[in-house]
Amino acid sequence: MRVLEIDNLHVSFKTRGGEIHAVRGVDLHVEDGETLAIVGESGCGKSVTAQSIMGMIPKPHGRIKGGSIKFRDHEMTTLSSKKLREIRGTEIGMIFQDPMTSLNPTMKIGHQIDEIFIKKLKLSRDEAKKKTIKLLQEVGIADPTTRYSDYSHQFSGGMRQRVVIAIALAANPSLLIADEPTTALDVTIQAQILELLKRIQLERQTSIVLITHDLGVVAELADRVSVMYAGIVVESGTVHDLFESPKHPYTWGLLKSVPNIHSQEKERLMAIEGTPPDLFDPPMGCPFAQRCPYAMEVCIEYLPEKEFFSESHSARCWLQDKRAKGYSEIAAGGERHG
């Protein structure tokens, strides 16, 4: 069953310098028990998309200007703030990059989790404490009965992120939104947190929307991927589609900037040259045109339509238009051999 469906989402922010068109017609969906990764550079609109799902676009400057976000039976774009607050923390759990900002430094860790059981699930204090200790154990906190009474500053970064995951899971949500959940952690701890998220998903069948700039994290955790660039989803597919048969030059660039640990030869990592377009005044055509080595005249003027290669795999690129066939084969060949 489909947990989340976003259709033609537009989000913008009013600033002194004008209006930033941060999300420009995003479509995506998440099925029960699957992980969708949203990937892209900072400023591509991935975190704004996540905030929109949670009803956390800061008002009055931010505004959902169009489109629909359906979570289960709720149309999130039209719900009251009260209803959105109820859904957050019960039906949708959230994990952010910096666990320190998600935790209350003046409150014992155990009590922060108890609150959810007491306020949202109406359990007694004793029942809540039992559940909290069990949950701390589930997320890998050793000696949870003692650690229940500790404060966040007494935990390491990795352990704090485990506590944040416990809080996100307390009400047994059907959707977890994880925004760069491992970015602030060192590499070995990152691997442990990814393992934990994987195990949780397997055991609880929770759907996950994973926001990341790291394709290594995507390969580790995701089932499907949406690649975002300048507020638009430029390519979508299964992890296999994206890693084995990418169709968009921006995805080619992202893949070239990731080290291949299986390669015997020393590889040179490629950075994608240039900067994303100004979203105060987004380009009419393909937003990647200024950085794309294969840009054609049509790319500057017209935004390409979504082209489907299979039920799961699509991209927005003029190279994939039938009329550009010869050129697209040269480009794809160049990427394979380049």
Residues found near ligand SF4 in the complex (CB under 6 A) = 248-249, 286, 288-289, 292, 294-296, 299, 304, 317-319
- Between 254 and 289, whose beta carbon lies closer to ligand SF4? 289
- Residue 248 CB, nearest distance to ligand SF4 (Å)? 6
- Between 58 and 326, whose beta carbon lies closer to ligand SF4? 326
- Residue 44 CB, nearest distance to ligand SF4 (Å)? 14
- Residue 264 CB, nearest distance to ligand SF4 (Å)? 31
Number of Cβ within 10 Å of residue 15's Cβ equals 10
- Between 217 and 299, whose beta carbon lies closer to ligand SF4? 299
- Residue 276 CB, nearest distance to ligand SF4 (Å)? 13
- Between 175 and 289, whose beta carbon lies closer to ligand SF4? 289
Mind giving me the DSSP string for 226-281?
EEEETTEEEEEEEHHHHHHS--SHHHHHHHHTS--TT-SS--PPPPPPS-PPPTTS
**How far is the C-alpha of 254 from the C-alpha of 85, rounded, in Å?**
36
**How far is the C-alpha of 164 from the C-alpha of 181, rounded, in Å?**
10
- Between 155 and 318, whose beta carbon lies closer to ligand SF4? 318
Pair of tokens at residue 329: 């084969």
- Between 71 and 288, whose beta carbon lies closer to ligand SF4? 288
- Residue 292 CB, nearest distance to ligand SF4 (Å)? 3
- Residue 309 CB, nearest distance to ligand SF4 (Å)? 14
- Residue 323 CB, nearest distance to ligand SF4 (Å)? 12
**How far is the C-alpha of 232 from the C-alpha of 287, rounded, in Å?**
8
Beta sheet of 74-75, edge-to-edge order? 18-31, 2-15, 62-71, 74-75
- Between 181 and 277, whose beta carbon lies closer to ligand SF4? 277
Residue 143 zone, left/alpha/beta (φ > 0; ψ -120 to 50; rest):
left
CA 274 distance to own-chain centroid = 24
What is the 8-class DSSP label of residue 289? T
Number of Cβ within 10 Å of residue 80's Cβ equals 9
Q: What are phi and psi of 307, to 5 degrees?
A: -110, 130
**How far is the C-alpha of 176 from the C-alpha of 33, rounded, in Å?**
10
